[in-house]
Structure formats: C-alpha cells, structure tokens
Amino acid sequence: MQQYGTILYLLVLVGIFYFLIIRPQQKRQKQHQQTIASLEPNLSVTTIGGILGTVVKVKDKTVILKVAENVKIEVLKSSIAYINKDEEENK
C-alpha cells in the first residue's frame, strides 16, 4: 500500500513540474518562433542585448537592423527579443 502512495506522490510532483516549468517554457519558445517568422522590413525590434533598431532586410538566418542614421548591423534572427508594437502603433 505504501508503494502506491510513493508512486502517486511522484506523479503529482511530475505534474506540478510540467505545469509550472515545462509548459510555460514551451509557450515562450513557440511565441518567440512566431516573432522570428513574422519579421519584415520597417518593423521596430529590440534584441536580447537591448539594441533597438528597425529591420532593413531579412535573410535566412540573420536580419539587418538600422540602429542610427547610416548605421546598420547584422544580427542573428534568434537574437531578436520582441517587436516593439507600441512604436509601430505611434507611426
């Protein structure tokens, strides 16, 4: 009888672990992939490093960002943290 209690306890712990850690991480990863897939020129974005820029060109694995007048940098798509929607609405 004690074995069933231990097994039930382990199942409950695995369930809690899944709903508190694994599932939210999967949702964040899916949302990040959607963000990367939706990149297009003239979008204002922020990189993981905190660089703000406007997308100039989208390549296979990289994006060219305009960060200042006559200053463009090339960053990996995976380094784009999010699209700045507030700035897009103000334009």
d(CA 72, CA 5) in angstroms, rounded, equals 61
Give the domain range for residue 61: 40-91
Q: Which residues contact 63 (CB under 8 A, 6 or more apart)?
A: 39, 45, 55, 57, 74, 75, 76, 77, 80
The answer to whether residues 55 and 45 touch, using CB atoms and an 8 Å cutoff, is yes
pTM of the model: 0.70
d(CA 54, CA 46) in angstroms, rounded, equals 9
Helical segments of the chain, H only = 2-17, 23-37, 85-90
- Both 45 and 4 in a single domain? no
Express each pLDDT in 5-61 by its tens digit: 889 999 999 999 888 988 999 999 999 999 999 999 999 999 999 999 999 999 999
Q: Hey, how many other C-beta atoms are within 10 angstroms of the C-beta on 32?
A: 14
- Which pLDDT band holds residue 67 (cuts at 50, 70, 90)? very high
Per the listing, tokens 């897009």 go with 88
- Both 53 and 23 in a single domain? no
- Both 46 and 18 in a single domain? no
- Both 23 and 52 in a single domain? no
